[in-house]
Amino acid sequence: MLGYWEILLIFLLVLLIFGGKKIPEVARGLGKGIREFRKAKDEITESFQGSMNDDAPESDAETATAEKKSKNKKKKKKKKDSKKGKTPGKGKKDADGK
């Protein structure tokens, strides 16, 4: 562990090397670098955890629920099209323009 005198000596050396006006810029740059590193680390961690969750097998209940939702969407679309008077294939023209 660094003692009081070692920290003071390091601070004085940094002050002599960079000067009083450069120290805030160096500190800002160091802070941005640390922030970007943390952000990248968090993104990689989230990506890894997300891929681990995607690989997990679905339970039967989840699969059944997903299938039910898919069927309901198809039924709603058919009802919506029939209310508008649309039927599949109606209103399409051939290559001849007929």
Alpha-helical regions (H) of 19-59: 22-54
pTM: 0.41
Tell me, what's the pLDDT at 39?
A: 96
- CB–CB of 18/30 below 8 Å? no
Tell me the mean pLDDT in the region 10-22.
87
Tens digit of each residue's pLDDT (9 = 90 or more) over 24-65: 888 899 999 999 999 999 999 999 888 888 765 555 555 556
Residues whose CB falls within 8 Å of the CB of residue 14, separated by 6 or more in sequence, listed in order: 23
CA quadruple 22, 25, 27, 29: dihedral, nearest 10? -140
> In the chain, pLDDT over 70 holds for what percent of residues?
55
Average pLDDT, the chain: 75
Tell me, what's the pLDDT at 57?
A: 53
Tell me, what's the pLDDT at 26?
A: 85
Q: HSE (CB half, 13 Å, CA atoms) of 58?
A: 9
Sign of CA dihedral 65, 68, 72, 73: positive
